[in-house]
Amino acid sequence: MLESQNYRYEEAEEPYRMHLNECLYNPPEHIIKAVTSTLSQCNYYPNLHMFNRFRLLLAEYNKVSIDNVYPFLGADNALRTLFMALADPGDAILSVKPTFSMIEVYARFMGLDMVTVPLQENDDEWTVDMNLLIELAKNAHLVVLVDPNNPTGNAIIKGDRKILEAIALNTKGFVIVDETYYEFSGYSVARYVNEYPNVIVVRSMSKAFCLAGFRLGYIIADKSVIDSVTKVLTPFDIPTPSLAAGIAALENLDYHLKIIEKIKQLRDYLYSELKRMGFKVYRSYANFLLIRDDRRLDSHLKKFGIAIKRIAQDLYRVSIGNEDSVKLFIESLRELA
């Protein structure tokens, strides 16, 4: 029997969900209207024209060719597909630790040899020994990096071409860069996928576009990689309402860019307030903050209707919600400051 662990998740009953890096802004009217208009057509399979329209809009948004981008039913599904297409049992996979838990889940399930570089705590941020990472990449069939990293929020490659090149040219396989939090960091390696064909970028529309329930993700890669890893996929894989939501979001970018900017401002505000109250908090390029505290912050906040995620005995990850949730979060911690 395979020795692997499942993704651990417990549904939160608290009204303020600040534990899953979700967007707490409800889908806007243009999303609701677009999705509702498709419901009467859901007796049919998803429309090929909608799929191609969504793919074209993704290409335009990311400033790449349509041949360089492909939609998936969520970024985690894209990541799983890449694992299955690019690795075999016994292959070595390199990542950092801690990072997105599904990387280890997929690696263990597929019988991959997991190698990690531990992140180091450095004042108010986390850092990685890049020289060690590049050296270990020599024996890796897959290098998988979440950038910005989850749950620490720190930069890994930070869009640096020289670093990317060193990793990409050093490894015997592929470099997967999960840029789920790209919109909050502002940096990316997506522009280099044609120069380094073994580099694949994974993106999500769950966080920045507030579409987690629609399960939309995509990859950006060289055309040869896209053609190879999508051989077993069809244009029917993404439900019609999800396609409609994605199209409407990308056709109304101004609204979503404003939401992204609001979340970034709230993130920086919450960081400053927590520092001012004396909490140990780390800087973040994502839509969450990591707090170190030896008290049960999760139990305390639960009394105020707030759910956060306990990462380790004294580490807590809090998602940046909307104005109301951030205000309540601060007020709820004042008595502990």
pTM to 2 decimal places: 0.94
Token pair, residue 82, equals 């890449």
Residue 2 lies in a domain: no
Query: Do 264 and 234 reside in the same domain of the chain?
Result: no
280-282 and 288-292: which strand pairing? antiparallel
- One domain, residues 180 and 268: no
- How far is residue 303's CA from residue 211's CA, in Å, rounded to a whole number? 28
pLDDT per residue, tens digit, the chain (337 aa), is 233 344 565 666 788 999 999 999 999 999 999 999 999 999 999 999 999 999 999 999 999 999 999 999 999 999 999 999 999 999 999 999 999 999 999 999 999 999 999 999 999 999 999 999 999 999 999 999 999 999 999 999 999 999 999 999 999 999 999 999 999 999 999 999 999 999 999 999 999 999 999 999 999 999 999 999 999 998 899 999 999 999 999 999 999 999 999 999 999 999 999 999 999 999 999 999 999 999 999 999 999 999 999 999 999 999 999 999 999 999 999 988 7
- Tell whether 3 is covered by a domain: no
- For 238-274, letters b (16+ CB in 10 Å) and e give bbbbbbbbbbbbbeeeebbeebbeebbebbeebbebb
Answer yes or no: do 156 and 274 share one domain.
no
Residue type, 85: A
- 260 and 236 in one domain? no
Asked if residue 4 belongs to a domain, the reply is no
Structure tokens at 41: 């057509």
Q: Assess whether 184 and 312 both reside in one domain.
A: no
Q: Taking the CA of residue 216 as centre, how many other CA atoms within 13 Å lie in the half-sphere pointing to its CB? A: 24
Q: Which of 208, 228, 252 is the last residue of a domain?
A: 252
Last residue of a domain, one of 197, 219, 252: 252
CB 259 within 8 A of CB 210: yes
Quickly list H helices, the chain. 29-36, 48-62, 75-86, 101-109, 130-136, 161-170, 182-185, 223-229, 240-251, 253-276, 297-302, 323-333
Q: How many domains does the chain have?
A: 2
137 burial via Cβ count (<10 Å: 0-12, 13-18, 19+): buried
